Structure 1
Amino acid sequence: MIKGLYEAHLPVSNLNRSIVFYEGLGLQFDHKVDDRLAFLWIEKDKSWLGLWETDKVEVEYHPSIRHIAFQVTLDDLKNSVVWLENKGYKPREAFGFDPIEPFVMPHEEYAHAKIHFNDLDGNSLELICKLENPKKIKQRMYLSEWEQINEI
């Protein structure tokens, strides 16, 4: 029955400023509702992000309520730190990894490579892609180390 995630929502303190921020990430603005809510396509006609202007953005961050992970290609992820910095966005530390490059969190059959950063209101954003884990690696590491071990 469920085919995927259609929408997710984040609180923002300034809707127009946040629209510009997310457009800078490549999302496509679709429409506003009552100058308090905006919808931007993550993937046109497939999934979108709702931004709600509110004075409640000071709610303490927790990934269960203020986190979005955007799927990207491995090639794009490899260039993500430079891409983010060129746009004026700062990658941040996550899971003990400095934001010098993406890092990998392995599971049994697969792994995820990722980099984290925040939006203008401190909402946690992530660029992520799924990787194969042919050697069943269990240790977290930087992507360059992962590629060297897996001879990619």
Structure 2
Amino acid sequence: MTAISKIFATVSKQLGFKGCGSTFFIEYESYFLTVNLQKSSHGESFYINVAITYKQLLDSNTTEKGSTTTYKKCLSTLPSHVDFRAENIPQAPYTQNDFDKLASHMDSNTIKDCLQKALEAAIDFTHKNHDRSTIRKPKEANIFPAIIMKSV
């Protein structure tokens, strides 16, 4: 998985994410978008976990230290308020089956393209749906299986 991790890190940084290891984030005015590459316990496959953390729901101490302290130490201690996998984004460009096939073939150019499109889809989806008043709508329509905290 090391090769996939390196590609994930490169693509994440190219798209404006900051971080290290397998966890990267973008800080927006009202929220953090975090992505994490998780190795599957089955073979070489992987998952792309995505989280939204709303600044309004954090205490001021956590917000001030969040992006600087937490991510410089390569830890993701910010609580997530919305959790989902990249393949569960409505009209996602890839399914988990696609990720599984890519991991087994180890074609770095194809993996890079796949990861880039998946992360772009995550950015696009959160730009359009991150608002606390609208994030539940796709879930309620049964097109977005996500874990959404009650506080949202």
Q: Please tell me whether Structure 1 or Structure 2 has the larger radius of gyration of its CA atoms.
A: 1
Alignment TM-score > 0.5, same fold: no
**Where is the helix percentage greater, Structure 1 or Structure 2?**
2
Structure 2 length-normalised TM: 0.29
Indicate the structure whose relative CO is greater, using CA pairs within 8 Å and at least 6 residues apart: 2
